[in-house]
Amino acid sequence: MKIALVVLLTAMTIDVVIGIVARYVLLISIPWTEELARYLMIWTGFIGFGVAYRKRELISVRLFVGKLPPNLLRIALFVSDVLCSIFLVIVVVYGIKLCLDNMGQLSPALRISMSIIYAIIPLGCVLFLVFVVESISSFLKLKKG
């Protein structure tokens, strides 16, 4: 996943540099550079959410989490994981519906199907869900052991 993030961020950086050089040095505007950068940023965000979650580096309210005793903290994280997984399943279902509903719509500058752009919603949430299920299963294994 980290390799995918590096590739996406590198592509976005190159794209933005091309857009800047074209606009301010060559004095021409390349319309697809802004659109591509936007889509690459969205894809990076959705993949990055899963990677950050797996490392437990998502933003959280440290004030409350830091004050919980270890046993209560594990239970709070478990409940959070269960609620998160329910939310992710809902987003995956509606993300797939969004992709199917927009198969015929093309992006303005790149002229690619918007369903390709929207596909990151269910894909990113499935990735996130895999990591949440992994976390839940490790909690349940600790409970048994």
**pLDDT by residue (tens digit) across 7-39?**
999 999 999 999 999 999 999 999 899 999 999
User: Domain tally for the chain?
Assistant: 1
Residue 129's pLDDT band (cuts 50, 70, 90): very high
The pLDDT of residue 33 is 94
Q: Does this model's pTM top 0.75? A: yes
Q: What is the mean pLDDT of residues 121-129?
A: 94
The pLDDT of residue 10 is 96
Q: Which residue has the higher pLDDT, 119 or 59?
A: 119
pLDDT reading at 92 higher than 60 = yes
Q: What is the mean pLDDT of residues 59-74?
A: 75
Q: Which residue has the higher pLDDT, 70 or 117?
A: 117
Range of the domain at 43: 2-144
**DSSP string over the chain:** -HHHHHHHHHHHHHHHHHHHHHHHTS----HHHHHHHHHHHHHHHHHHHHHHHHTT-S---HHHHTTS-HHHHHHHHHHHHHHHHHHHHHHHHHHHHHHHHTTT-B-TTT--BHHHHHTHHHHHHHHHHHHHHHHHHHHHHHHH-
